[in-house]
């Protein structure tokens, strides 16, 4: 919005005495300037509205009054009881993120699609959080409803991207030439120079798994104060770099990665996410004043998945979001092994003391803050490996 306003003012002032006085408005053409503006705007919005939203959530009694499942199973012996802490704090993140992106970015199909996905998943998460509050149990929305909504969104995105004209889709920047490619049918792997053609069916499946898997993985990670949002900030920085490079033809040619026209504006989205995440962490750090809830975790995870797809880097998300992947895999393995052993022996057995993975380490005696900080360290290592894939090919 500010970009378009600044350009209109410059066009009006062109050839007049005001042109030199308003020359500073040319700064709005630069993605780096608008990134800084988006991040600062989102951060200030969170700091300003955070206390107000927390008070409102408390007044509305949008808090967790039931006993957490981890408490029931003894995982919270060494940390503060969180009963009564307001949830749905993801509203703060989503509002700051969407407003800052709309204010500072140039609107193009990539940005609009990403914001649409975030809003849809935030709505789904809000409904789930509200259902938990009404029932005062950990049940919430039936898993089938959540998965159907997520898969419907992922299918819509996949078909939309598949049908994009070649000139509006992906152009792969080789050392000396551009090669038309499709965001869905051609798969880019980390540490490889050229995309692999996998066809429409397999490509649509990859898009579905990326968006749905990322959304649920972040949701499963959101179990300790500051854990999910801190890891989100680290992964968000990785994709801030990747989106900037993917949208800059010179950088893309030099690093031999796919150049996606318009992807640079997704850098504004990532910057706004970093600002909103930092602002929310101010209130979510231990002991948390507010929880993100599914409202935030589903939206942020789905947003990451879509951004990764739009810049042709879904497998970079697997590397950068290694913590999210580990949390999701721990739940899948735990449930799968329990059902298998119960079917074979009549008694279900577990691989981990408790799933998701962060609760396993709590059961081993780690303090909540230890788990969070050590997971941060591991997430940074994953981010470094992901960033290294830009150059190591």
pLDDT tens for each residue of 265-276: 999 999 999 999
pLDDT of 167 over the 50 cut = no
Domain membership of residue 289 (yes or no) is yes
pLDDT of 371 over the 60 cut = yes
Residue 176 pLDDT: 39
Instruction: Return the bridge partners of 178, or none.
Output: 173
Instruction: Work out the average pLDDT over 60-84.
Output: 60
Alpha helices in 163-292 (DSSP H): 199-221, 227-246, 249-255, 264-284
Centre a 10 Å sphere on the Cβ of residue 310 and count the other Cβ atoms it contains.
26
Residue 168 pLDDT: 40
- Within its chain, how far is the Cα of 285 from the centroid? 19
Domain membership of residue 337 (yes or no) is yes
Domain membership of residue 25 (yes or no) is no
Residue 294 pLDDT: 93
- Compute the CA torsion angle 253, 256, 260, 265 (nearest 10 deg): -80
Please say whether the dihedral angle defined by the alpha carbons of residues 71, 76, 81 and 85, taken in this order, is positive or negative. negative
Residue 315 pLDDT: 94
Confidence of residue 291 (pLDDT cuts 50, 70, 90): very high
Centre a 10 Å sphere on the Cβ of residue 272 and count the other Cβ atoms it contains.
32
Q: Nearest-CA neighbor of 78 among 282, 286, 292? A: 286
pLDDT of 80 over the 70 cut = no
Count of domains forming the chain: 1
**Better-predicted residue by pLDDT, 171 or 328:** 328
Domain membership of residue 81 (yes or no) is yes
Whether the bond between 55 and the residue before it is cis, its omega within 30 degrees of 0, is no
- DSSP element (H, E) containing 178: strand 178-181
Residue 136 pLDDT: 62
Residue range(s) defining the domain that contains residue 379: 2-8+30-388
Average pLDDT, the chain: 87
Residue 20 pLDDT: 73
Domain membership of residue 17 (yes or no) is no
Domain membership of residue 126 (yes or no) is yes
Domain membership of residue 19 (yes or no) is no
pLDDT of 19 over the 80 cut = no
- Residue 223 burial (CB < 10 Å; 0-12/13-18/19+)? buried
Domain membership of residue 206 (yes or no) is yes
pLDDT digits over 181-220, tens only?
678 888 889 988 778 888 889 999 999 999 999 999 999 9
Residue 346 pLDDT: 86
């Amino acid at each position: 919005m500010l970009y378009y306003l600044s350009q209109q003012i410059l066009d009006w002032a062109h050839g007049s005495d005001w042109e030199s006085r308003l020359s500073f408005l040319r700064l709005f053409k630069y993605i780096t300037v608008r990134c800084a503006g988006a991040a600062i705007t989102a951060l200030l919005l969170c700091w300003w509205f955070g206390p107000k939203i927390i008070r409102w959530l408390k007044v509305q009694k949008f808090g967790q009054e039931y006993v957490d499942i981890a408490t029931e199973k003894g995982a919270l012996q060494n940390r503060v009881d969180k009963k009564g802490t307001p949830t749905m704090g993801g509203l703060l993140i989503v509002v700051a993120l969407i407003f800052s992106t709309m204010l500072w970015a140039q609107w193009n199909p990539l940005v609009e699609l990403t914001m649409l996905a975030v809003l849809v998943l935030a709505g789904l998460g809000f409904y789930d959080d509200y259902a938990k509050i009404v029932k005062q149990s950990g049940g919430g929305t039936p898993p089938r409803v959540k998965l159907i909504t997520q898969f419907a969104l992922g299918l819509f995105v996949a078909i939309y991207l598949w049908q994009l004209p070649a000139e509006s889709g992906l152009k792969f920047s080789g050392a000396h030439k551009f090669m038309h490619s499709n965001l869905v049918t051609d798969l880019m792997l980390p540490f490889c120079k050229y995309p692999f053609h996998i066809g429409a069916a397999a490509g649509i499946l990859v898009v579905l798994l990326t968006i749905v898997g990322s959304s649920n993985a972040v949701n499963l990670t959101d179990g300790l104060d500051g854990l999910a949002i801190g890891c989100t900030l680290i992964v968000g920085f990785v994709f801030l770099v990747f989106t900037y490079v993917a949208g800059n033809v010179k950088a893309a040619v030099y690093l031999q990665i796919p150049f996606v026209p318009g992807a640079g504006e997704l850098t504004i989205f990532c910057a706004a996410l970093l600002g909103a995440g930092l602002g929310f962490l101010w209130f979510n750090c231990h002991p948390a004043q507010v929880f993100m809830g599914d409202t935030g975790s589903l939206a942020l995870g789905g947003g990451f998945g879509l951004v990764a797809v739009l810049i042709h880097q879904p497998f970079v998300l697997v590397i950068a979001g290694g913590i999210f992947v580990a949390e999701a895999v721990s739940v899948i393995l735990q449930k799968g092994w329990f059902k298998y052993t119960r079917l074979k022996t009549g008694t279900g057995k577990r691989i981990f003391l408790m799933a998701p993975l962060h609760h396993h380490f709590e059961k081993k005696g780690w303090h909540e803050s230890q788990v969070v900080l050590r997971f941060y360290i591991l997430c940074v290592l994953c981010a470094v490996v992901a960033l290294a894939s830009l150059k190591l090919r």
